[in-house]
Structure 1
Amino acid sequence: MTTVDDLIGLVRAYNPRTNEKLIRDAFSFGEEMHQGQFRHSGEPYFTHPVAVAAILAEQQMDDATIITALLHDTIEDTKASFSVVEKRFGRDIADLVDGVTKLTNLQLSSTQTKQAENFRKLFIAMSRDLRVTLVKLADRLHNMRTIKAMRPDKQGQKARETMDIYAPLAGRMGMQWMREELEDLAFRVLNPEARNSIIRRFITLQRETGDVVEKITADMRIELEKNDIRAEVTGRAKKPYSIWRKMQEKDQGFSRLSDIYGFRIITATEADCYRVLGAIHQRWRAVPGRFKDYISQPKSNGYRSLHTTVSGRDGKRVEVQIRTREMHEVAETGVAAHWSYKNGERVENRFAVDPVRWVTALSERLDESHDHDEFLEAVKLEMYQDQVFCFTPKGDVIKLPRGATPIDFAYAIHTRIGAACVGAKVDGLRVPLWTRLKNGQSVDIITAEGQTPQATWIDIAVTGRAKSAIRRSLREEDRERFIKLGRELARVAFENVGKKATTKALRTAAKTLGIEGEEDELLARLGSAETTSREVVLAIYPELAERKGEEIEEARAVIGLDIDQVHRRAPCCQPVPGERIVGITFRGQGVVVHAIDCAALADYEDQPERWVDLHWQEGTHKSVNTVTFDMTISNDAGVLGRICTLIGEQKANISDLTFVDRKPDFYRLFLDVDLRDVEHLHRVTTALEAETNVSSIIRHRDPQRAASVGEVSKA
C-alpha cells in the first residue's frame, strides 16, 4: 500500500506548500475509521481510498481533493459522521466528502424514471463542486483496476455502468486518458475474447512489420527538423476498445482497419501548431474529411488541438494530434486543469475551462420537461457525443452533436426557425432534411409561413432541444381534437354509472390523478388514450371497484392496549383507521385515542408515562368512526338532499347536522358522518368536492374540544 510519506511526496512534487499535517491527519483518521474492514480481494479496505488519493495526486489536484479521497467512504461505511469530519477537517472538506457519498448512492443505471432523477442530482452535484465528480471518477477507476476480486455478475454490472456512464463522463470532462482506460477495463470484462483477439493481431502485426510506431515517429522528427520546428513527437497504438469500436462503426475487419496508430506532436506556440500541420501535409498525403481544427473552434470542455489523418509509411493511415504544452495539459486533465499547481502556486491555464462555466454550458440546453425519455435523451446527447461545428450564412458558429441534421441546426438557431423549416442548403446545395452535417459546413435554412413541424421529424432530429420542441408542437396541434374526443368519452363513462361529467367533477378527477392543467389536460389525455375513462371515473367513485371483507368489531379496532384497558376516540381530532395514532391514559377511565398530529397532545408532553403506542387493526372496519365536515353549500332547492344522497352512495351515514350560518346565497354547516377508515373518508370528501353546489369542504378539527373522560368501550 502507498504510505502516507509516499502520498505526501507525490503532492509535494507539484505543490511544495502543501498542508502536510492535514494530509497526515486525514490519512490517520481514515485508517482508523476503516480498521477491520476488508475489500473483496482480502486487502485492508483503506488501501482503496489511498489509491484514489494517489490517482488524484497524479492529476495535481489541491489538498482538499486529496483529503476528500482519503475520507470519501468514511461517512457512508464507518461510524464517522458529517459533523465529526467537519469539526476535524473543516466545512469545505466535509461538504466534498458528503457530496461523494451522495454521488455513490445514485443508481445511474437504474430504471428510466429513477435514472432521469439521478442524472439531475448528478448535475446538481457537479454544479456545486466539480471536485466531487473528479473524486468519484478516480474511485471508479481504482475499482475497475481491481474488479477481478468481485463476483462475475457484479463485474458485469459495474463494467456496463462504467462503459455507459463513467467513461463518457470522463471524456466529456476532457480527461481522455481516463476515458480510454475505463473503456478498456470495462471491455476486458464485457468482451474478453474480442479484446484478446485484437491484442493477438497486434502482436502478429508487429512481428510482420516491426515497430511501426518508432519508424513513423522518427520520420516525423526528421520532417520537423527540415522545417526548423522544435517539437516533441510521441506515438502509440490505440487501445483495444478504441479499435473494436472503429471496427463496429465501419463494419471492417482488423486487417482492413488502417488508422490504428495515433501520434501526438507538442509544440511551443500556437503558430507552430499550424507550421507542423503544413509540414506533415507536405510530406504525407492528407485523408479527405479527416481534418478538425479544435484550436480555432475549441470543444466546450476546453479541449484544443489540430487533428489530421495522413497516409504514412507503407500507406498506413495514422492519426496526428498537434497542440501546445498548455493545450496538452488541458487535453490530459480536462477540467481538472483548473486546479493545477506549479511550484506550489495555483497557475491559471488560459485554455482550462472554469468548472462553473463548463457545467452551466453543459446544462443550458437540457430540456426542462418532466418527460423522463426526453430528459435522458438530452442529457446523453449533451454529455456523451462529440460535436460538429457548422456555420450560418452570416458566419456564426453553431455547435451540434455528431450526426445532427439541418432540422437540429434550425432549432439551435431559434425554435421559430425550426418550426417553419421547409428545406436546407449545405455549402450552397439543396439537401434533404435527414442529411448528416459535417464539420465546417455552411448551412442555410429555408423557411415558409404556415409550415408546422412534421411527425417524421422526430426520427430525423437527434438533439433533445429539437425533439422536445417538435413533440410539444405536435401535442398542441392535436390537443383540440383530443380534448373534444376526451369530453365525449368522459360523458359516456359517467353516464354508464349514473353520473354526470360536470366541469367540477373532471377537475376533481384531474386533481386526484395528479394531472396539472386540470380539466383540459385530463380530457386531452383521455382523448389520446394516455388515460382511460375507467381511471377517471374511479378517481371520484373508487367504491365502484371495492371488494368487501369481514368487518372488524369496534372493540378490536385498536392494537397496543392491555387486556383490561378500554378506549375511545378523542373528539378533538376524531382519528380514523389508517391514520397514525397514539393513546393517552386516564386513571380508572382507560385510554383516549388521538391522531399523532393532534394539537391537544401538547398538553401531555411533560407526562410521557401516560403515552401509549397504538396502531389500528388491519382489515375492514365498521362505519362507526364519526368525522365532522365543515361545509359551505349553495342555498338552492334540493342541494342538501343531493348531498345526503351522495354520502349515502358512498355507503356512509349522516349522524348529525348543524347549521352554522345561513345567508341568502349559501349555507355553512357542520355535518357528522360515520366512516370506516381514512380511505372511506377520502372517497366521501372527493365525491362532495366534485358536486357543483359545494363551495368548500374541510375536515373540522377543534383542539379546544379536549378529550373528556366519560364512558368508554370495552377493549
Structure 2
Amino acid sequence: MTAATPSATVDLSALPPYALALKERIAYLPEAQIDRVLRAFQLGAQAHAGQERKSGEPYITHPVAVAGILAELGLDAETIIAAILHDTLEDTELSRETLATEFGEVVAELVDGVTKLDKMRFGSRQEADAESFRKMLLAMARDIRVILIKLADRLHNMRTLGAKDAPSRRRIARETLEIFAPIAQRLGMNKFKAELQDLGFRALYPDRYRVISERIRAALGNRREAMGKIEAALSARLAADHLPARVVGRIKSPWSIYSKMRNDHKSFAQLMDVYGFRVVVDSAMSCYMALGVVHALYKPVDRRFKDFIAIPKANGYQSLHTVLLGPFGAPIEVQIRTAEMDSVAERGVAAHWAYKTDSGPANSAQARAREWLSSLVDSSASTVSSSEFIENVKIDLFPDEVYLFTPRGDILSLPRNATALDFAYAVHTDVGDHAVAARVDKKLLPLRAKLESGQLVEIITAPSAVPNPAWLEVVVTGKARTAIRQYLKHLQHEDAVDFGHRMLDRALDAQGSSLDGIPPAVLDRFLDTSKLKRLEELLSDIALGNRMPDVVASQLLASRGRKAGKPQASAHAHEKIRITGAERGVLSFANCCHPLPGDEIIGYLSSGKGIVVHREECPNVVELRKSPERCVAIEWDRDVQGDYRAELRIEVINRPGVLATVAAAIAAADSNIENVEYVERDAAAATLLFAMEVKSRKHLADVIRRVRRTGVVSGAYRYPL
C-alpha cells in the first residue's frame, strides 16, 4: 500500500509539543533538512494513527523520542528521519517503496535494517531473538547508523519500561545488560552504555539498585568537601603551569559498583574509598604535560599508569589513566584527555558526526568499529546457528583487553585470558588452523599459554597440523571458536559420509546388491521421499545412528522393484568395518568398558551420537544385542593412532609415598595420568583407581607390569575386568 505523500511545507501550528521539542533539538541542521524531518514526522504520525503504547500515549511519541536522543548526538538528517520511521515497516501499512520515494534509498535501507523479523517463524523465542540480532549486526556492517538507531530505540524503551509487566521487564533488562550495553561499549559510546546498564540494573534487581544508590548518595554527601579541595588543588596547579584545563569530579554508577563488588569480591567501602577526576586539555601533548603536573602534585601509585593515547582501546577510546596517593589517605584516579578524546569516549562512533576531526584512521572509533563489524560478518557466514553466533559475539563484547605485538610491530588487542591460539586465529584463520606452538618474547610456549599486555608473539606453524576438539577448551575469542568448530564440523561430516557409505554398502551386500547397483533415478526418488537433498546427507544420517543401514538397504531394494530377500552370504557379507579411532566425529568409546586398540569390539548405533564402541566382553553388550539392527560389526585397523582412556584398579600397601611410587611407574611407561582416587582405605591397605591414557591393550599391559614391579603393589587389574 502507498500512503499519501505529506505536503512539502509543514504547518508548525499543527505540530504537537513533542514534535516542536524535536525541532528545537535539530536546530543544528540546515533549514531544508529540518523541513524533511518534520515531513517524516507527519508521515509517521499518519501511519501510526490510532496506535498506542502500553502507557496509553500515542505510539508516535516513541519514535520521536528516539529521534530526539540521536539529535543530542548531532547525527545527520537521514538518521533522524529513519529513527522517526523505524517501526513503520513492521507495525503499519507503509511500504518500503514509499519510504524510498519520499526520503531516498538511504533512509529506506536504514529503516529496513532496524525492522524486526516479524514474518519469520522460529522454534523458540530465544532463537527468534538470536536471528533478529544477527540481522541487526549484519545491517550494522552495511551502515553503522543502523545500530545507533537501535541503541537509541532500546534506551527510550528502557526509560519507559515501567509500563511493561514484570516478566517482560526482566527479559528486556537482561537482554539490555547482556547485548545492548556491551555493544554500546564496544562502539565507544560510554554515555549510552552507562545509562543502559543502570536502567537494566534497576529493572532486573530493583532492591539491589535502591540500596546501592542510597549508599552512593550518602557517601557523596560525606565526601563533597574533600572532593572540592582536591579539584581546586588540581585546577590551581595546572593553571600555575599555564595549562588550560577543565577538571571534573567523576562519580561511579550503581551498576559499576555492583558488578565490581560481584566480580572483584570487593566491599562497597573499598570501591567508594576512591576519588575520581577527569582532566580535559587542548592537545595530546598537553595530556602528557598535565600528567607530569599531577604527578608533581600528588605521588603516583606504582604500576597504575596506563597510556591509552599511544595504544587506543579496541573501541577507539583514548586517555591517560593514573592513580595518585591523595591528601586524605585515599587513592585518586585521574583520566587525562583532549576535548576530542572526551567526545569520542562519550559518543564513540557517533562523535564522527558531532565532532569533525582530521585524526588518523588508527585513532578513529569508526575505523575500529568497522573492522570489528567486518569480522562479525565473516563469523556469521561460517556459523549456521544464530544462537551460537550470539554466544561468540558476547565473548567479543566484553573487551577487557590485552595488547600484543606481532613480529612486524603491529598491535593486536584480545580479551583478557586470551591464549597464544587466540592470537594465532586473530592473525589469520590459516595460521590458527596450522599452529603448533608460540614464541612469546623469544621463549617457546604451548598454544594454551595465556598472554599478557606488551608481549611480542610469534606463531610457529606446520602444514600437517590441524585443529582438534580440545582446542575449544583453550580459546576465548569468538573468531577462534567459530573457526575451530567449522573445521571440526567439516571433518565430522566427511567421516560420517565415509562411514555411512561403508555401512550401507555392507547392508546391501548382505542382501546380494550394492550401492552402485541402485539406479540413480531410484536413489533420487528415495532421497526426495526422505526429504534429503543429497546422498551425503543420507550416508551421514546412517553413520550418526539416525537411520538403520539394513532398513535403508531394504527400502532402496523395494524402490527398485525387487523385494529384499533373505540375507545372502557373499564374499564381503561377513567382513567387519575397520576403524582407526581417528573417526572421532562418528565414533565414541563407551565409558562402561573403555575399549582399547587390540580388544575385540562391537559397535552400537546410538541415535544422534553415531557408533558407540564397546568391548565384546562388556556386560552391557548382552542387552545391546537385543537390538541386532543397531549392532555394527567392527574391528580395529592394523594402523591405529592416538591415546585412549583406560582405568586401573591397584591394591597397595598403605604407607607414606606409595601414591608417588605408583604414579612414577605409570609415567615411566609413557602413560599420562588423568585422575586418581581412593576407592577403599584402611590402616594396612588401600585400593586406588587410576584413569590414564594409553595407546593400546599392549601398552596397558606394559603399564601393569611396571606397576607390579614397584614392590608396594599387591594387585593391579584393568577396570572393569
When normalised by structure 2's length, the TM-score is 0.65
The match for 2:375 among 364, 388, 398 is: 364
Report the Cα distance in structure 1 between the residues aligned to 2:528 and 2:454, rounded to whole angstroms: 51
Counterpart in the other structure of 2:333: 319
- Measured after TM superposition, the shift of residue 210 of structure 1 is 3.9
- Measured after TM superposition, the shift of residue 192 of structure 1 is 1.4
* 8 Å contact kept, 1:337–1:349: no
* 8 Å contact kept, 2:439–2:458: yes
* 8 Å contact kept, 1:388–1:402: yes
Report the Cα distance in structure 2 between the residues aligned to 1:212 and 1:289, rounded to whole angstroms: 25
Structure 2 vs 1, CA of residues 348 and 192 (structure 1 numbering), >3 Å: closer, same or farther? Answer: same
* 8 Å contact kept, 2:383–2:486: no
- Measured after TM superposition, the shift of residue 205 of structure 1 is 2.4
Is 1:3 matched up with 2:18? yes
User: Given residue 645 of structure 1, which amino acid in structure 2 is its aligned partner?
Assistant: R
Identical amino acids, percent of aligned pairs: 41
The 5-angstrom pairing of residues 213-362 of structure 1 reads 213-257=227-271, 262-287=276-301, 290-340=304-354, 353=364, 358-362=369-373
* 8 Å contact kept, 1:258–1:318: no
Is 1:20 matched up with 2:72? no
- Measured after TM superposition, the shift of residue 51 of structure 1 is 1.3
The match for 2:470 among 444, 456, 459 is: 456
| SS at structure 1 position matched to 2:277 | strand
- Measured after TM superposition, the shift of residue 271 of structure 1 is 0.8
* 8 Å contact kept, 1:308–1:321: yes
Is 1:55 matched up with 2:66? no
Is 1:397 matched up with 2:411? yes
Report the Cα distance in structure 2 between the residues aligned to 1:108 and 1:59, rounded to whole angstroms: 36
| SS at structure 2 position matched to 1:380 | helix
User: Given residue 248 of structure 2, which amino acid in structure 1 is its aligned partner?
Assistant: T
The 5-angstrom pairing of residues 423-572 of structure 1 reads 423-427=437-441, 433-445=447-459, 453-471=467-485, 485-491=499-505, 500=514, 518-519=535-536, 523=539, 526-527=542-543, 529=544, 531-534=545-548
Structure 2 vs 1, CA of residues 177 and 542 (structure 1 numbering), >3 Å: closer, same or farther? Answer: farther
* 8 Å contact kept, 2:507–2:553: no
Structure 2 vs 1, CA of residues 322 and 188 (structure 1 numbering), >3 Å: closer, same or farther? Answer: same
Is 1:124 matched up with 2:127? no
Structure 2 vs 1, CA of residues 374 and 45 (structure 1 numbering), >3 Å: closer, same or farther? Answer: closer
Counterpart in the other structure of 1:157: 171
The match for 1:645 among 551, 558, 562 is: 562
Counterpart in the other structure of 1:134: 148
Structure 2 vs 1, CA of residues 428 and 325 (structure 1 numbering), >3 Å: closer, same or farther? Answer: same
- Measured after TM superposition, the shift of residue 187 of structure 1 is 0.6
Measured against aligned partners, the alpha-carbon deviations of 1:632-687 in whole angstroms (never above 9, x if no partner) come to xxxxxxx9x99443699xxxxxxxxxxxxxxxxxxxxxxxxxxxxxxxxxxxxxxx
- Measured after TM superposition, the shift of residue 186 of structure 1 is 0.7
Counterpart in the other structure of 2:604: none
Report the Cα distance in structure 2 between the residues aligned to 1:109 and 1:279, rounded to whole angstroms: 61
Report the Cα distance in structure 1 between the residues aligned to 2:500 and 2:351, rounded to whole angstroms: 57
Measured against aligned partners, the alpha-carbon deviations of 1:611-647 in whole angstroms (never above 9, x if no partner) come to xxxxxxxxxxxxxxxxxxxxxxxxxxxx9x9944369
Report the Cα distance in structure 1 between the residues aligned to 2:509 and 2:338, rounded to whole angstroms: 77
| SS at structure 2 position matched to 1:229 | coil
Structure 2 vs 1, CA of residues 78 and 420 (structure 1 numbering), >3 Å: closer, same or farther? Answer: closer
* 8 Å contact kept, 1:258–1:316: no
User: Given residue 52 of structure 1, which amino acid in structure 2 is its aligned partner?
Assistant: V
| SS at structure 1 position matched to 2:250 | strand
Report the Cα distance in structure 2 between the residues aligned to 1:642 and 1:81, rounded to whole angstroms: 50
User: Given residue 197 of structure 1, which amino acid in structure 2 is its aligned partner?
Assistant: V
Structure 2 vs 1, CA of residues 185 and 497 (structure 1 numbering), >3 Å: closer, same or farther? Answer: farther
- Measured after TM superposition, the shift of residue 165 of structure 1 is 1.5
Report the Cα distance in structure 1 between the residues aligned to 2:561 and 2:491, rounded to whole angstroms: 43
Is 1:176 matched up with 2:187? no
* 8 Å contact kept, 1:382–1:401: yes
* 8 Å contact kept, 1:493–1:533: no
Counterpart in the other structure of 1:205: 219
Report the Cα distance in structure 1 between the residues aligned to 2:35 and 2:301, rounded to whole angstroms: 55
* 8 Å contact kept, 1:286–1:309: yes
| SS at structure 1 position matched to 2:328 | helix
* 8 Å contact kept, 1:103–1:122: no
- Measured after TM superposition, the shift of residue 390 of structure 1 is 0.4
- Measured after TM superposition, the shift of residue 43 of structure 1 is 2.1
* 8 Å contact kept, 2:140–2:373: no
- Measured after TM superposition, the shift of residue 203 of structure 1 is 3.0
Over the aligned positions, Cα root-mean-square deviation in angstroms equals 4.1
Counterpart in the other structure of 2:114: 100
User: Given residue 35 of structure 2, which amino acid in structure 1 is its aligned partner?
Assistant: K
Measured against aligned partners, the alpha-carbon deviations of 1:422-450 in whole angstroms (never above 9, x if no partner) come to 54454456666444323222234456786
Counterpart in the other structure of 1:71: 85
The 5-angstrom pairing of residues 626-637 of structure 1 reads none
| SS at structure 2 position matched to 1:364 | helix
| SS at structure 2 position matched to 1:3 | helix
* 8 Å contact kept, 2:518–2:560: no
Report the Cα distance in structure 1 between the residues aligned to 2:528 and 2:67, rounded to whole angstroms: 51
Higher CA-based Rg: 1
Structure 2 vs 1, CA of residues 433 and 204 (structure 1 numbering), >3 Å: closer, same or farther? Answer: farther
* 8 Å contact kept, 1:427–1:442: yes
| SS at structure 1 position matched to 2:418 | coil
- Measured after TM superposition, the shift of residue 270 of structure 1 is 0.9
Report the Cα distance in structure 1 between the residues aligned to 2:326 and 2:517, rounded to whole angstroms: 76
User: Given residue 375 of structure 2, which amino acid in structure 1 is its aligned partner?
Assistant: E
Is 1:81 matched up with 2:81? no
Is 1:387 matched up with 2:401? yes
- Measured after TM superposition, the shift of residue 459 of structure 1 is 0.9
* 8 Å contact kept, 2:404–2:453: yes
User: Given residue 263 of structure 2, which amino acid in structure 1 is its aligned partner?
Assistant: E
Report the Cα distance in structure 1 between the residues aligned to 2:542 and 2:338, rounded to whole angstroms: 61
User: Given residue 562 of structure 2, which amino acid in structure 1 is its aligned partner?
Assistant: T
Counterpart in the other structure of 1:665: none
| SS at structure 1 position matched to 2:335 | strand
* 8 Å contact kept, 2:436–2:465: yes
Report the Cα distance in structure 1 between the residues aligned to 2:305 and 2:517, rounded to whole angstroms: 63
* 8 Å contact kept, 2:29–2:77: no
- Measured after TM superposition, the shift of residue 60 of structure 1 is 0.6
Measured against aligned partners, the alpha-carbon deviations of 1:302-347 in whole angstroms (never above 9, x if no partner) come to 3322233444443434433222122222222221223337xxxx77
Report the Cα distance in structure 2 between the residues aligned to 1:513 and 1:235, rounded to whole angstroms: 69
In the alignment of these two chains, the number of paired residues is 544
When normalised by structure 1's length, the TM-score is 0.66
Counterpart in the other structure of 1:608: none
The gaps in structure 2 that reach 5 residues or longer are 1-15, 566-721
- Measured after TM superposition, the shift of residue 357 of structure 1 is 7.5
- Measured after TM superposition, the shift of residue 538 of structure 1 is 6.5
Counterpart in the other structure of 1:413: 427
